[in-house]
């Protein structure tokens, strides 16, 4: 399959995540939701890895890298995202994740000594200006739950950028399926002590079939299919070329939000979105 077809499919799954997560977190708190998602997705990934791959042992020095990926990918990225999306909009979540390439560039500069050109610096600056406009689109009120949710998701985006940077060496060495299954399983194990109590005491009878469909989508559609496609693409082409596809998330997610959710586009969101996405595109061409 053409790598760009893979990335378009991944884009659709990722954009749908913001809509589904917003709907489900209205009923299910972030801790039990992250727990359900982690148990289901890690089980599926381990089964896939067992069936399709019969590779050798993991080098001892690589386990610490996989542990870090697990921590960044699940307890940090997934939990913070599901926690933050409850307070903000699906479109905002998508837009904030669209800045992933800018964060990848900045973090690569400090962690991998990659050079930042003037054009890339301009792009990064514009991206962050756009994000700031969106974060505070309802006014600069740090006590606002809306602003709080945006900031929490921004922290999740940083974790996702680190997950992307740190994951590439492991993907090239062990493949997308093995790296994803091991990292997500390790992340699930880390989150297990936090989520097990919430899972035991959760009022399951209050969930409708729609809620369960949403949980299954987040577990299998996002954490299995979406993550595998993302890491598969990272193993085939440059990180920046993969990350550019996050630019489409705000557009697709906003259209979905208008159709499926009670969402109204604000002028601040449009302005901030245009500035942020333009900045990211300049960054990747710089």
What pLDDT, in 10s, does the model give residues 108-134?
888 877 777 888 888 878 888 888 888
Cβ distance 212 to 21 under 8 Å?
no
Question: Cβ of 123: how many Cβ atoms within 10 Å?
Answer: 24
Which residue is listed with tokens 């697709």?
A: 252
Number of domains in the chain: 1
pTM for this entry: 0.87
What distance in Å separates the CA atoms of residue 91 and residue 22, rounded to the nearest whole number? 10
199 pLDDT band (50/70/90 cuts)?
very high
What distance in Å separates the CA atoms of residue 78 and residue 219, rounded to the nearest whole number? 11
Tell me the pLDDT tens digit for each residue of 220-242: 999 999 989 988 888 887 776 77
Per-chain mean pLDDT for the chain: 88
What distance in Å separates the CA atoms of residue 125 and residue 129, rounded to the nearest whole number? 6
Query: What is the domain range of residue 63?
Result: 3-285
- Mean pLDDT value across residues 128-149: 78
């Amino acid at each position: 399959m053409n790598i760009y077809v893979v990335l378009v499919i991944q884009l659709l799954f990722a954009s749908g995540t913001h809509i589904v997560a917003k709907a489900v977190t209205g009923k299910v708190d972030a801790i039990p939701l992250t727990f359900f998602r982690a148990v289901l997705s890690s089980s599926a990934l381990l089964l896939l890895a067992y069936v399709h791959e019969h590779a050798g042992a993991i080098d001892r020095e690589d386990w610490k890298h996989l542990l870090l990926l697990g921590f960044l990918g699940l307890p940090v990225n997934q939990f913070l995202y599901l926690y933050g999306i409850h307070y903000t909009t699906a479109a905002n979540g998508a837009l904030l994740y669209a800045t992933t390439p800018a964060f990848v560039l900045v973090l690569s500069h400090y962690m991998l000594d990659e050079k930042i050109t003037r054009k890339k610096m301009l792009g990064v600056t514009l991206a962050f200006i756009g994000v700031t406009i969106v974060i505070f689109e309802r006014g600069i009120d740090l006590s606002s739950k809306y602003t709080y949710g945006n900031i929490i998701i921004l922290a999740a985006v940083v974790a996702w950028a680190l997950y992307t940077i740190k994951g590439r060496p492991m993907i090239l060495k062990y493949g997308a399926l093995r790296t994803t299954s091991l990292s997500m399983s390790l992340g699930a194990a880390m989150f297990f002590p936090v989520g097990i109590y919430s899972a035991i005491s959760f009022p399951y009878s209050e969930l409708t079939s729609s809620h369960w469909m949403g949980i299954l989508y987040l577990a299998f559609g996002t954490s299995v299919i979406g993550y595998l496609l993302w890491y598969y693409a990272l193993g085939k082409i440059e990180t920046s070329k993969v990350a550019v596809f996050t630019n489409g998330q705000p557009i697709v997610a906003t259209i979905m939000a208008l159709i499926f959710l009670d969402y109204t586009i604000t002028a601040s969101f449009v302005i901030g979105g245009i500035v942020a996405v333009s900045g990211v595109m300049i960054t990747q061409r710089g």
